[in-house]
C-alpha cells in the first residue's frame, strides 16, 4: 500500500513539474541611468523622399538570463532573437562650417518623433538587405521617440535621443517570463555612434550608415 501511494505521489510531482509555468524574471526596475540594452544597427536616409528606415538588433537586454544566448547561432544580424525598426520622416539641415567641395564640418539631420518597435523572433533570419526581415516577429515593446538630431561630424555620426515606453507584451525567453514594463520606470535614452562612410547600396539620393549604441533607463 505504501509503495502504491509513493508511486502515485511521484507521478503527481512529475506532472506538476511538467506543466509548471515559466518563471518570471526579476521584477526589479532598472535604476535611472542603468544600461537597459546594447544594439547594432543601420539607418537608410532617402533624401529623395525625406524618409529614414532605422533597424537593427540587440546584443544585450536587461532581464535576459546570463546563461541564455541572444542569438540562435553565430552572433550577428541574421541570428539575433531581438530586433528593432522605425520608419520616419527626416529633415536635413544646413551644413555648418563649409570645408569646400560640398563638405561641411557638421551636417545636422532632424529625425521626426514617432514610434520605434522591438520584436522577438523565435526563429530569426534577418538580412540587412531586407528591412522587413527585422519586423516579422512578435512585437514586445513600442516606444514613442522624441525629436532626434543626428550630427554627421567628420568620420563619425552621433545621436542621443529619448523614447517613452507606451506598450509592452509579456514573452518567454531563456526560461523566464519577460516584460519591459516591469523593468522600465518610464523610458530609455539611446546613445548612438555611427560611421559616416556610406555602405554598399548607397547612392546620391539614398545613403546607408552603420551604427551601434546603448540605451539608458530614465524615470523615477
Predicted model pTM? 0.85
Identify the pLDDT of residue 15: 38
Q: Is 82 within the bounds of a domain?
A: yes
How far CA 121 is from CA of 20, 37, 96, 118, in Å, comes to 24, 17, 42, 10
Q: Is 14 within the bounds of a domain?
A: no
Q: Is 9 within the bounds of a domain?
A: no
- Give the integer Cα–Cα distance in Å for 81 and 73: 10
- Give the integer Cα–Cα distance in Å for 186 and 200: 37
Identify the pLDDT of residue 220: 66
Dihedral Cα 135, 89, 161, 214, nearest 10 deg: 30
Identify the pLDDT of residue 29: 72
In contact, 164 and 141? CB cutoff 8 Å: no
Tens digit of pLDDT per residue, the chain (220 long)? Answer: 445 444 444 433 333 333 334 444 445 677 788 999 999 999 999 999 999 999 999 999 999 999 999 999 999 999 999 999 999 999 999 999 999 998 999 999 999 999 999 999 999 999 999 999 999 999 999 999 999 999 999 999 999 999 999 999 999 999 999 999 998 889 999 999 999 999 999 998 999 999 999 999 998 6
Beta-ladder partners of 153: 106, 156
For the purposes of burial, counting CB atoms within 10 Å of the CB of 164, is it exposed (0-12), middle (13-18) or buried (19 or more)?
middle
The domain in which residue 138 lies consists of 22-218
Q: Is 175 within the bounds of a domain?
A: yes
**Number of folded domains that form the chain:** 1
- Give the integer Cα–Cα distance in Å for 206 and 49: 9
Q: Is 13 within the bounds of a domain?
A: no
> Strand (E) positions, the chain?
23-24, 35-46, 51-61, 82-92, 96-100, 103-111, 114-120, 138-145, 148-153, 156-168, 171-173, 176-178, 187-195, 206-218
Identify the pLDDT of residue 28: 60
Q: Is 191 within the bounds of a domain?
A: yes
DSSP 33: T
Amino acid at each position: 500500500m505504501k509503495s502504491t501511494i509513493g508511486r502515485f505521489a511521484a507521478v503527481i510531482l512529475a506532472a506538476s513539474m511538467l506543466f509548471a509555468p515559466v518563471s518570471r524574471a526579476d521584477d526589479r526596475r532598472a535604476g535611472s541611468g542603468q544600461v537597459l540594452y546594447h544594439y547594432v544597427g543601420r539607418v537608410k536616409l532617402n533624401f529623395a523622399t525625406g524618409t529614414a528606415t532605422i533597424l537593427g538588433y540587440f546584443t544585450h537586454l536587461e532581464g535576459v538570463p546570463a546563461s541564455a544566448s541572444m542569438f540562435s547561432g553565430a552572433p550577428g544580424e541574421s541570428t539575433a532573437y531581438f530586433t528593432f525598426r522605425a520608419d520616419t520622416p527626416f529633415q536635413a539641415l544646413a551644413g555648418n562650417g563649409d570645408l569646400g567641395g560640398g563638405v561641411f564640418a557638421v551636417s545636422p539631420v532632424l529625425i521626426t518623433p514617432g514610434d520605434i518597435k522591438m520584436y522577438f523572433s523565435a526563429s530569426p533570419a534577418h538580412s540587412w538587405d531586407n528591412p522587413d526581415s527585422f519586423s516579422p516577429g512578435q512585437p514586445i515593446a513600442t516606444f514613442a521617440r522624441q525629436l532626434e538630431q543626428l550630427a554627421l561630424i567628420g568620420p563619425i555620426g552621433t545621436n542621443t535621443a529619448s523614447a517613452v515606453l507606451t506598450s509592452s507584451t509579456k514573452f518567454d525567453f531563456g526560461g523566464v517570463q519577460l516584460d519591459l514594463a516591469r523593468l522600465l520606470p518610464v523610458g530609455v535614452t539611446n546613445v548612438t555612434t555611427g560611421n559616416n562612410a556610406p555602405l554598399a547600396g548607397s547612392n546620391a539620393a539614398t545613403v546607408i550608415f552603420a551604427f551601434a549604441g546603448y540605451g539608458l533607463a530614465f524615470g523615477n
